Amino acid sequence: MKYFKGLSLSQFMRNVFILARGTVFSQIIILATLPVLTRLYSPSDFGIYSVYVSMIGIVLVVVSLSYEMAIPLPSSDRTASSIVSLSLCLCVIVSLLGGIGFYVLHHQLSNWMGEPDMQSYSILFTLSLLGAGGHQILNLWSIRKEYFAPLSRTKYMQSISQVSSQLLLSLTSMGPLGLIIGELLGRVTGVWSQWRLWRRDVKREHMYTSWTEMKESAHRYRKFPLLSSWSNVLNSIGLFLPNIILAAMYGPYVAGLYTMSQRFLGAPIILISLSVNQVYLSEFAIHLNQDTSKIYPLFKSTVKKTFFIGILVIGGIVVFAPILFHYLFGSTWEKTGDFIRILSVMYLTQFIANSVGSTLGVAERQDLHLYREIFRILIILGSLLLARYTKQSAEMAIVFLSAASTLGYILHLILSWVAVLRMKRSEKGVYEADAGAKAGSVVKMG
């Protein structure tokens, strides 16, 4: 009882629960509509949709050249607002280039997916990047200002917009395009509410940004695109490339089953860990500026709590998922329950590692993060290539992928612990007042 009483009195945990509340509601909305969506869209539709979303995810990490991750760090709100402006400008440019790249690759994608109309997706790809990138940037402004309640509301409003659009568009027989457009509309819903919060702060505090200020911010935080982008790209490739490779190896049907496993098991875990990490980042930045002796206890406490939560959440899903898939989703999706069991350990380690995922960046250990990403992507790609060249079944390919990913997340957790120990043993005791002048990167979720 004392443990839970302590949790209720902790400001950290209160903020986590505020964000997690929106996450829970959003996931309830998504999960509640899945039995309907799986009857309106085929596994192949979800497979094509997963490849599209995976490509968005890979490009998204460089949509603003990682400058957005510096937004929580400056001591001045005006400087942080100039980084928001800089990031949004870069987001527009990269999104346009991403749409052109998608158009160039549409023939190859059509061959992989068996979808002849991929060319028409290029405009949607640009809009999706704009929506996802804008949400990513403005989300970090809200974290900086501790707008946790509005962030929580945004999560479930996005889910409502997404699933309602996907349900309505299924009536038009658009196939995977209905899923993609619904995803886009969900992103836009989140951008608009967060844009209003940022613009309100800009007007209230007269933080209108000039080109000179944006150039100064770009130079001051140049380590983000120069150092962080590379490791973040590798992180994103390791996270999203398996969807694309599974579709190429086994077809969109298997990719669709894998995507449903991610949605049913991975989405709640990732979003809850994101809520924890957002609050962890806020607390970490405060301790970095004021009292670094509190960083190690924060790290240790967060890992323990997320392990406890992860066991409960993932254990419950693993026990009941196969039964649910049989009765709620039909025989077409029944194999997804097997995929969920195979991936459960991987998602537990991902949940714990992602909850403290910003540690390496704020602790200035870009080198450790880069080594981890190189190792992770090599073993993930190696596991899938091994499955291909030994002619394994789709299920065994998922086993290889799960084992490789688990090793990658365990390594990430160990390296984060090493970085925190280094800070604990530092003879300085305190870091520079402006964390942004020291930190080279904040690690993205992976």
Q: What is the spatial distance between Cα 332 and Cα 390, in angstroms, rounded to a whole number? A: 27
To 10 degrees, the CA torsion angle through 388, 392, 398, 404? -60
More confident residue, 45 or 364: 45
Per-residue pLDDT reduced to its tens digit, 11-28: 666 776 777 777 778 878
Per-residue pLDDT reduced to its tens digit, 270-308: 767 777 877 787 777 777 667 777 777 888 888 888 888
Average pLDDT over residues 141-160: 88
Tokens 């299924």: give the residue. Answer: 170
Q: Which two tokens stand for residue 171?
A: 């009536």
Average pLDDT over residues 256-261: 88
CB 345 within 8 A of CB 402: yes
pLDDT higher than threshold 60 for residue 430 = no
To 10 degrees, the CA torsion angle through 411, 414, 416, 418? -130
pLDDT higher than threshold 90 for residue 132 = yes
> What is the residue-wise DSSP string for 416-431?
HHHHHHHHHT-SS-S-
Q: What is the spatial distance between Cα 159 and Cα 186, in angstroms, rounded to a whole number? A: 6
The per-residue pLDDT for 140 is 92
Angle between helices 148-169 and 11-40 (to 10 degrees): 0
pTM: 0.75
The single-letter DSSP state of residue 393 is -
pLDDT higher than threshold 70 for residue 446 = no
The per-residue pLDDT for 212 is 92
Residues 6 or more apart from 290 whose CB is under 8 A from it? 430
pLDDT higher than threshold 50 for residue 159 = yes
Q: What φ, ψ does residue 78 adopt, rounded to 5°?
A: -65, -45
The per-residue pLDDT for 429 is 44
The pLDDT-based confidence of 431 (bands split at 50, 70, 90) is very low
pLDDT higher than threshold 80 for residue 321 = no
Tokens 């695109």: give the residue. Answer: 225
CB 321 within 8 A of CB 265: yes
CB 192 within 8 A of CB 150: no
Dihedral over Cα of 373, 374, 375, 378: its sign: positive
pLDDT higher than threshold 60 for residue 360 = yes
Per-residue pLDDT reduced to its tens digit, 38-53: 889 989 899 989 889 9
The pLDDT-based confidence of 443 (bands split at 50, 70, 90) is very low
pLDDT higher than threshold 60 for residue 243 = yes
* H or E segment and range at residue 130: helix 121-144
Residues 6 or more apart from 252 whose CB is under 8 A from it? 43, 44, 45, 46, 47, 48, 51, 113, 114
Q: What is the spatial distance between Cα 22 and Cα 41, in angstroms, rounded to a whole number? A: 26
The per-residue pLDDT for 92 is 96
CB 334 within 8 A of CB 325: yes
R_g over Cα of the chain: 21
pLDDT higher than threshold 70 for residue 442 = no
Q: What φ, ψ does residue 43 adopt, rounded to 5°?
A: -55, -35
The per-residue pLDDT for 406 is 92
Per-residue pLDDT reduced to its tens digit, 164-195: 999 999 988 888 999 999 999 988 887 888 99
More confident residue, 318 or 71: 71
Per-residue pLDDT reduced to its tens digit, 82-124: 999 999 999 999 999 999 998 888 777 777 666 667 777 889 9
Distances (CA, A) of 318 to 8, 336, 401: 28, 11, 18
